[in-house]
């Protein structure tokens, strides 16, 4: 088909944006390779959704002719009661990434700066650029956010600061006390986004007390999601807990029916299933310990993760490692798109999946060692 081109209609701000490139569906990988594959690429819950959420979705499927409740009343009511905040401090999104996009569109005007770290979740830099803003990133320090380096980059042009805690893709965290010290250096009229997508997995007692900070009235929004520990990534539901003015602005900007009936029902039910969360966290704890033991043994550099994934570096191009692992039916995520071309991110899976990825990595390391030896012998012989 020949299509007429309209080269100037899409503004350069949009035409110049990088595209988020999704991985191939697992079914396609399996079909191409003729083997069963495991997917440890997107930090999904290895145990699946809560059975209660599945039942809730099945129950309300028959009402799909009706529009969803645009206010998400019952889910916000449950969240407010559980988190000890007012309902007008909670806003729902089609995943928390939708909220990141909306916040950037609201707070970033052309020329404004969005400040964050290098080696962090790409959705924020993408959203800042989509809004016509400029991204400033401070370097990571030992695979973790360097809050001093971030604070040093604060100036008049910075409108929004984004912190992921724990960080994706490195899995590292900063403490509540470190957050407080950082916030004391951020001007009050700067929007702070604290992305806590993996908070349910964190068991360290010195982790975030961000909701206290919200309750104290700080101009800040905490983002959480049902996509990770709650196992509902496919249904798209996340939420923000923040200053009522921020919540109000997002409500003005969002599409009224952004969260579907099925997603609302699933999230409400998942929230009540404490047992499923407990099992998920426990299984993850065992998986993290297993990777922390095995990956260094294979000669891989890793970061200390408190989330449901681990970051590691083989010292090679991660894209090549990714391809080799794919051939063994193991799908992980090479981190070039987050600016870390040597990094691989591996989601903690079930015990069997974790064993399989470690075995595949061991084979990869052996063949790389073999190739190096071969090269050395080749040079010695010539």
Ligand X SMILES: *Cc1c(COP(=O)(O)O)cnc(C)c1O
Q: Closer to ligand X by CB, 25 or 315: give it.
A: 25
Taken in order 334, 338, 341, 346, the sign of the CA dihedral is negative
Instruction: Give me the residues paired with residue 333 across strands.
Output: 345
Nearest-approach distance from CB 310 to ligand X, in angstroms: 14
CB of 3 to ligand X, least distance (A): 32
Closer CB to ligand X, residue 89 or residue 225?
225
CB of 101 to ligand X, least distance (A): 10
What DSSP assignment string belongs to 264-297?
Answer: HHHHHHHHH-HHHHHHHHHHHHHHHHHHHHHHHH
Tell me the residue number closest to ligand X, measured at CB. 95
Footprint on this chain of ligand X (rule: CB under 6 A): 43, 95-97, 121, 164, 168, 195, 197, 225, 227-228, 233, 238
212's tokens? 């206290």
Of 81, 80, 98, 97, which Cα lies nearest the Cα of 89? 80
Q: Nearer to ligand X by C-beta: 45 or 96?
A: 96
Please state, in angstroms and rounded to a whole number, the distance separating the CA atoms of residues 268 and 52.
9
Element (H, E) at 27: helix 26-33
C-beta of residue 325 within 8 angstroms of C-beta of residue 316: no
- Considering beta carbons, is residue 97 or 354 the nearer one to ligand X? 97
Residue 60: strand, helix, or coil: helix
With contact defined as beta carbons under 8 Å apart, do 251 and 224 qualify? Answer: no
Question: Residue 228 Cβ, how far from ligand X at the closest point, in Å?
Answer: 6
The encoded tokens of residue 246 equal: 């921020």
- Min CB(180)–ligand X separation in Å: 21
DSSP helix/strand/coil, 220: strand
Smaller CB separation from ligand X, 258 or 302: 258
Nearer to ligand X, 133 or 240 (CB): 240
Shortest distance (Å) from residue 167 CB to ligand X: 7
């Amino acid at each position: 088909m020949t299509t007429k081109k309209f080269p100037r209609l899409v503004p350069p701000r949009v035409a110049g944006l990088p595209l988020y490139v999704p991985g191939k569906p697992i079914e396609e990988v399996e079909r191409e390779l003729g083997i069963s594959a495991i997917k440890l690429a997107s930090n999904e819950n290895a145990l699946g959704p809560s059975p209660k959420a599945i039942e809730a979705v099945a129950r309300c499927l028959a009402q799909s002719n009706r529009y969803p409740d645009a206010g998400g009343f019952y889910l916000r009511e449950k969240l407010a009661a559980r988190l000890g905040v007012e309902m007008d401090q909670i806003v729902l999104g089609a995943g928390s990434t939708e909220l990141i996009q909306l916040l950037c569109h609201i707070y970033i005007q052309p020329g404004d700066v969005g400040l964050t770290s290098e080696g962090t979740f790409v959705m924020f830099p993408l959203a800042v650029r989509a809004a016509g803003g400029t991204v400033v990133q401070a370097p990571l320090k030992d695979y973790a956010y360097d809050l001093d380096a971030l604070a040093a980059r604060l100036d008049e042009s910075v409108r929004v600061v984004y912190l992921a805690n724990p960080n994706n893709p490195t899995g590292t965290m900063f403490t509540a006390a470190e957050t407080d010290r950082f916030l004391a250096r951020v001007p009050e009229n700067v929007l702070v986004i604290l992305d806590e997508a993996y908070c349910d997995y964190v068991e360290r007692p010195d982790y975030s007390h961000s909701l206290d900070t919200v309750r104290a009235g700080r101009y800040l929004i905490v983002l959480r999601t049902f996509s990770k520990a709650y196992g509902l990534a496919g249904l798209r539901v996340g939420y923000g807990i923040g200053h009522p003015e921020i919540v109000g602005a997002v409500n003005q900007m969002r599409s009224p029916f952004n969260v579907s009936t099925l997603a609302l029902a699933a999230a409400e039910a998942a929230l009540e299933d404490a047992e499923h969360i407990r099992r998920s966290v426990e299984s993850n704890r065992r998986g993290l310990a297993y990777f922390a033991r095995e990956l260094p043994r294979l000669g891989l550099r890793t970061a200390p993760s408190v989330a449901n994934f681990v970051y590691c570096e083989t010292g090679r191009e991660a894209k090549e490692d990714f391809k080799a692992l794919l051939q063994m039916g193991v799908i992980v995520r090479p981190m070039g798109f987050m600016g870390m071309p040597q990094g691989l991110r591996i989601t903690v899976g079930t015990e069997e999946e974790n064993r399989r990825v470690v075995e595949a990595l061991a084979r990869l390391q052996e063949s790389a060692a073999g190739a190096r030896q071969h090269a050395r012998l080749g040079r010695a012989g010539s």
